[in-house]
């Protein structure tokens, strides 16, 4: 699989963007074998494979929490009482708070997503015991996203959902990491509803150059100044 990673990348990008379902049919090992998305990403971005998971809890999360506490959001209440790992999970959920989505256009329609819609497009938090099979029949298929079973301060299970397939990961951080990498491997544009969050993760955390909204540039400057 490692030796054929570049072949897959070229096939996916040949003749324009391909539908995820077609990519999964051609290369089913990408989603049914753990580690394949991360491995292909490493071949495409050899300088950035582990920057998020290696630095999140110790370096990135404290900065995000510091910035978010100024917003006085409920999820930061008593956050100092949590372990570093739990603070890291909360910090991931704070990214949509710091990067709200304004009005954007889809075709001729103007959209203004709520904060809940933005959060769910990035990390959809559902209660423990959610019927996963039933959930997946109604889940979005246009883009990858993270599903977390638990509450704001406690992740019981974490998944990356890609085209109706749920890939379980041992941690919320690991799921966000692989979800980001899936956008690169499958050559998928970030969904507009939460594009600023993924742009920030790309440019500020993975340090991969790319398009940035003005809000992302401002937050990145504030983030780097801490």
Q: Model confidence over 114-147: pLDDT tens digits? A: 888 999 999 999 999 999 999 999 998 989 999 9
Q: What DSSP string runs through 128-161?
A: TT--HHHHHHHS--SS-EEEEEEETTEEEEEEEE
Contact of 43 with 2, CB cutoff 8 Å: yes
d(CA 209, CA 199): 9
d(CA 48, CA 199): 15
The per-residue pLDDT for 108 is 78
141-192 pLDDT per residue, tens: 989 999 999 987 789 999 999 999 999 999 999 999 999 999 999 999 999 9
Q: How far is CA 29 from CA 37, 67, 77, 136, 220, in A?
A: 9, 40, 42, 20, 35
Q: How much is the average pLDDT of 193-205? A: 96
Report strand pairing: 109-111 vs 123-126.
Answer: unpaired
Q: How much is the average pLDDT of 208-213? A: 94
Contact of 22 with 59, CB cutoff 8 Å: no
The encoded tokens of residue 81 equal 């009482």
Chain centroid, CA 108 distance in Å: 27
The per-residue pLDDT for 206 is 96
The per-residue pLDDT for 79 is 87
Q: Confidence band (pLDDT; 50, 70, 90) for 27?
A: very high
The per-residue pLDDT for 80 is 86
Domain span at residue 110 reads 5-225
With 80 as the cut, is the pLDDT of residue 72 above it? no
Q: Confidence band (pLDDT; 50, 70, 90) for 57?
A: very high
The SS3 of residue 105 is strand
Hey, which residues does 109 pair with through a beta bridge? 106
The per-residue pLDDT for 18 is 86
d(CA 163, CA 20): 7
- Say how many domains are in the chain: 1
How many residues in total does the chain contain? Answer: 226
The helix or strand, by DSSP H or E, that contains position 111, with its residue range, turns out to be strand 109-111
Chain centroid, CA 131 distance in Å: 22
The per-residue pLDDT for 202 is 97
The encoded tokens of residue 152 equal 């704001």
The encoded tokens of residue 181 equal 């990498």
Hey, which residues does 169 pair with through a beta bridge? 158
The encoded tokens of residue 100 equal 């709200």
d(CA 121, CA 211): 19
Neighbours of 63 (CB within 10 A): 16
């Amino acid at each position: 699989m490692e030796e054929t990673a570049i072949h897959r990348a070229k096939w996916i990008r040949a003749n324009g963007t391909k539908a995820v379902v077609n990519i999964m049919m051609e290369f089913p090992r990408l989603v049914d074998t753990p580690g394949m998305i991360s491995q292909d990403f490493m071949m495409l971005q050899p300088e950035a494979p582990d920057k998020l998971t290696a630095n999140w809890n110790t370096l990135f999360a404290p900065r995000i929490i510091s910035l978010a506490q100024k917003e006085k959001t409920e999820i930061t209440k008593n956050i100092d009482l949590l372990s570093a790992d739990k603070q890291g999970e909360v910090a991931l959920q704070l990214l949509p708070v710091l990067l709200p989505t304004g009005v954007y256009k889809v075709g001729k329609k103007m959209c203004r997503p709520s904060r809940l819609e933005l959060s769910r497009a990035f990390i959809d938090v559902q209660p423990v015991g959610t019927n996963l099979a039933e959930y997946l029949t109604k889940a979005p298929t246009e883009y990858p996203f993270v599903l977390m079973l638990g509450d704001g301060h406690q992740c019981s299970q974490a998944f990356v959902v890609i085209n109706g397939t749920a890939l379980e990961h041992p941690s919320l951080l690991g799921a966000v990491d692989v979800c980001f990498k899936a956008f690169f491997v499958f050559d998928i544009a970030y969904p507009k509803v939460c594009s600023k969050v993924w742009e920030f993760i790309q440019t500020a955390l993975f340090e991969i150059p790319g398009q940035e909204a003005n809000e992302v540039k401002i937050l990145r400057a504030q983030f780097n100044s801490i």
